[in-house]
Structure 1
């Protein structure tokens, strides 16, 4: 669990690094050079422009549509990641028993623990890295889409609903909605585990706060992307983890009744 938290934290830092580098403030054009620009950011930018043409020239609606399309494309990866996470969670009692059995810190005991752990993974057909691969694959896509929205000139020249896409939301509604939906989505993903792990509980609050802080100063187009993506993830998580969410809710009620 700690390794996964470190991985998520590292990906957050990588996202911040990538969104701050790679010509972030430079408009994306056919003349933009480099693999990242030519094969990821520019094609996504053109896709947004193309969809806007079919959406009556609305770039806000285009961002909504393209965000949903991208989320649908990476949905199989998310399902695979969720299944891997559930499988790892299911064998946690056995893993804990192994840790208690081989609690000594000497090298031979720790080596035996690693061997027994790998045997446990093989017994249940679990690849401990399977939950990481989907994240690593989808991150370039999502970050590339983030760059495409930020660097497409046409987007900044249009408005949608009550805000200009190229300027921060003047009423701070989108940043707040982005933060709230981030919290709900993470709460659903961590159902039944956040209360048992203080580090995960901290992440549950830290990410929404970070999103709100960024969204307040970033163009509203990016906040719109976050909100739509979060809403999609909430619906996706509900259907994928429905039984787990129900069990976690019943367990929470039972715990409250005992108190």
Structure 2
């Protein structure tokens, strides 16, 4: 888990540096320079505009539909990531026993710890890096989509439902829903684990509370178009997690004979 978090942070930093050199604060156009703009942000901006024009320039509906489309495209990667996360959760008790067995910090003991840990992974068919690939593929797409929303000038000029897309939600409904859906999605990711397993994965417990707060606060101050993207994306992820993890939990119950 720690390696995945560090990898994600490094990837975010690289993407931040990449996008920071591509006129990130300027509206995206066909004349925008740079690989990032030409191959990621501009095509997604065009897709948003194309879908909006299909519905009488309804950019709010376009953001909803394109968000769902992107999430569907990324669905196979998300399934792989969820299965990897579930597998890592299942072996946490055994993994903790191995760590306690080789708690000494000398080089020989640490080598034995790594060897037995890898054997445990192989025995249970767990690849600790399997959840990283979906993150690596998803991050550029999602960041580019975020920039496409923020940098498409036409979006700022339109309204959707009760809010102006270029301004923050005056009633704070979108930030609350975005934060709530994020919390629910994180909670569902941890479903099927007990207190001791959660204690072994402090990063997930921290994310359970930090992510909703962060998204909710940012959504208060950012344009409603971005908050709408988060709301739709997170609700989709909640539904996805329910439909994917429920069969996984049934399979686990079947393997254990239905015992608790």
Q: Distance in 1 between matches of 2:10 and 2:230?
A: 17
Q: Distance in 1 between matches of 2:177 and 2:11?
A: 20
Counterpart in the other structure of 2:204: 200
User: Which aligned pairs between 1:49-60 and structure 2 lie closer than 5 A?
Assistant: 49-60=49-60
Is the partner of 1:105 in helix, strand or coil? coil
Contact 1:24/1:150, CA 8 A, preserved across alignment: no
Q: Distance in 2 between matches of 1:225 and 1:19?
A: 22
Contact 1:41/1:145, CA 8 A, preserved across alignment: yes
User: Which aligned pairs between 1:45-124 and structure 2 lie closer than 5 A?
Assistant: 45-124=45-124
Query: CA 1:16 to 1:188, structure 2 compared with 1: closer, same or farther past 3 Å?
Result: farther
Contact 2:175/2:227, CA 8 A, preserved across alignment: yes
Measured after TM superposition, the shift of residue 62 of structure 1 is 0.3
Is residue 231 of structure 2 the alignment partner of residue 227 of structure 1?
A: yes
Number of residue pairs aligned between Structure 1 and Structure 2: 248
Q: Provide, for residues 176-197 of structure 1, a one-character-per-residue CA deviation record: whole Å limited to 9, x for no partner.
A: 1111111111111122448433
Q: Which runs of 5+ in 2 are unaligned?
A: 252-259
Is the partner of 2:27 in helix, strand or coil? coil
Query: CA 1:199 to 1:236, structure 2 compared with 1: closer, same or farther past 3 Å?
Result: same
Counterpart in the other structure of 1:250: none
Is the partner of 2:127 in helix, strand or coil? coil
Contact 1:174/1:227, CA 8 A, preserved across alignment: yes
Measured after TM superposition, the shift of residue 98 of structure 1 is 1.7
Q: Provide, for residues 11-45 of structure 1, a one-character-per-residue CA deviation record: whole Å limited to 9, x for no partner.
A: 79649946983422200000111111000000000
Counterpart in the other structure of 2:254: none
Q: Distance in 1 between matches of 2:149 and 2:87?
A: 36
Measured after TM superposition, the shift of residue 128 of structure 1 is 1.2
The TM-score, its normalising length taken from structure 2, stands at 0.86
Measured after TM superposition, the shift of residue 4 of structure 1 is 4.0
Query: CA 1:245 to 1:214, structure 2 compared with 1: closer, same or farther past 3 Å?
Result: farther
Query: CA 1:59 to 1:15, structure 2 compared with 1: closer, same or farther past 3 Å?
Result: farther
Query: CA 1:213 to 1:14, structure 2 compared with 1: closer, same or farther past 3 Å?
Result: farther
Q: Distance in 2 between matches of 1:172 and 1:138?
A: 28
